[in-house]
Amino acid sequence: MNENQASLALFQECEALLATSLQTLDDKPEETVASTLKALWHAAAGAPLSVQRAMETALPTLDADATTQLRMLLQQRIVGVPLAHLTGRQQFMGLELQVSGDALIPREETELLGHAALARLQNIIREKNTAIVIDVCTGSGNLALALAHHAPRARVWAADLSESAVALAQSNAKNLWLDDRVTFRAGDLLTPFDTPEFHGKMDLLVCNPPYISSGKVDVMASEIIGHEPRLAFDGGPLGIRILQRLIAEAPRFLKPGSTLAFELGLGQGRGIRKRLEQHNGYADIAEITDAHGNVRALVALWAGHGA
């Protein structure tokens, strides 16, 4: 058997194993049998890639040690270790990010918020030539870095309650050559920016907050709750504790004509929109829906005069 035949035989063997054993999550649609195997194959070869990048890249030949590593990675994935934790990579809005157990793995659904926020940001930059952005609950920094990458004239500030998540986000910023325009701080929601420097100065405020109710977090899939930080999911008894705080605290940082944009959970759209409508300063509220018509993000203009 030559080298190519051996690689094909190994691929087919591993593919058959995953086909009968792999369980995937609905919120990670990019992970299939084929994409999982290719991502793990590259990781075993010592050149880890995101699922998306792995699907676009030719598979290297694995030596004996790498083949052993591949089999180990396959077994870890089958028992529920997240694929992104095994590769250390996840793609978000075209960016190749490092990920770890210190922060939420960026989800494809969050790109809905990302693209909606980016559209608003680009409009602001066309009018003003520059923009100032805050991203809170930043996690791995995916939203902050994507906005900075796709809108080079934006200056972005971001924060997370977890210091280890902030360290991961800073590493991502450095790897993407964005650390000169994106600054990360550790602290509770908007607290790290509660100074005159930021009050009434933001053009865009974005957030992907924890929005799962505490009771539901306890029964989430073990692949999620067993490996990703609870802090990134638990939104309190009703799942809206952070969302309520965000709506109430954001006006201190927004200026007339600026935008608040945030993700929310399934079934929360109507209630959270009502809270925005009842507030005295939000206007022109837009719903961002997924392919099934579910509201997954809200974008609102701030028409008030601070708070």
Phi then psi dihedrals of residue 157, to 5 deg: -120, 145
Strand ranges inside 74-153, DSSP E:
89-92, 95-98, 131-136
Partners of 159 in beta bridges? 136, 185
User: Minimal CA–CA distance to 300: which of 199, 213, 170, 206?
Assistant: 206
User: What is the sign of the dihedral through the CA atoms of 17, 20, 21 and 22?
Assistant: positive
Return the pLDDT at 222. 86
Polymer length in residues for the chain: 307
**Distance in angstroms (rounded) separating the CA atoms of residues 220 and 211:** 13
Q: Which tens digit of pLDDT belongs to each residue from 264-298?
A: 999 999 999 999 999 889 999 999 999 999 999 99
Contact 88, 102 (CB under 8 A): no
Q: Which tens digit of pLDDT belongs to each residue from 129-179?
A: 999 999 999 999 999 999 999 999 999 999 999 999 999 999 999 999 999
3-state helix vs strand vs coil in the chain, percent to 5: 45, 20, 35
User: Minimal CA–CA distance to 71: which of 42, 38, 50, 40?
Assistant: 40
Tokens of 20: 């009968």
Query: How do 295-302 and 282-289 pair as beta strands?
Result: antiparallel
Rg, Å, the chain Cα set:
21
Using a pLDDT cut of 90, give the percent of the chain over it: 79
Return the pLDDT at 10. 81
> What is the distance between the terminal CA atoms of the chain, rounded to a whole angstrom?
73
Return the pLDDT at 1. 59
The mean of the pLDDT values for the chain is 93
Place of tokens 């084929």: 34
Task: Give Cα separations from 43 to 67, 242, 263 (angstroms).
Answer: 11, 36, 31
* pLDDT tier at 306, thresholds 50, 70, 90: very low
Neighbours of 94 (CB within 10 A): 10
Secondary structure (3-state) at 139: coil
Return the pLDDT at 4. 72
Return the pLDDT at 287. 96
Tokens of 130: 């520059």
Residues 6+ apart with CB under 8 A from 96: 49, 50, 53, 89
- Identify the DSSP state of 202: E
Partners of 184 in beta bridges? 158
**Distance in angstroms (rounded) separating the CA atoms of residues 216 and 53:** 33
**Distance in angstroms (rounded) separating the CA atoms of residues 27 and 296:** 12
Q: Which tens digit of pLDDT belongs to each residue from 214-272?
A: 888 888 888 888 888 888 888 888 889 999 999 999 999 999 999 999 999 999 999 99
Secondary structure (3-state) at 29: coil
Contact 253, 134 (CB under 8 A): yes
Helices 33-44 and 64-78 cross at an angle (nearest 10°) of 140
Its pTM surpasses 0.75:
yes
Q: Which of 30-39, 68-77, 231-240 has the lowest mean pLDDT?
A: 231-240
Contact 172, 184 (CB under 8 A): no
Higher-confidence residue: 211 or 288?
Answer: 288
Ordered by where they begin, the domains of the chain are 3-87 (no CATH), 110-302 (3.40.50.150)
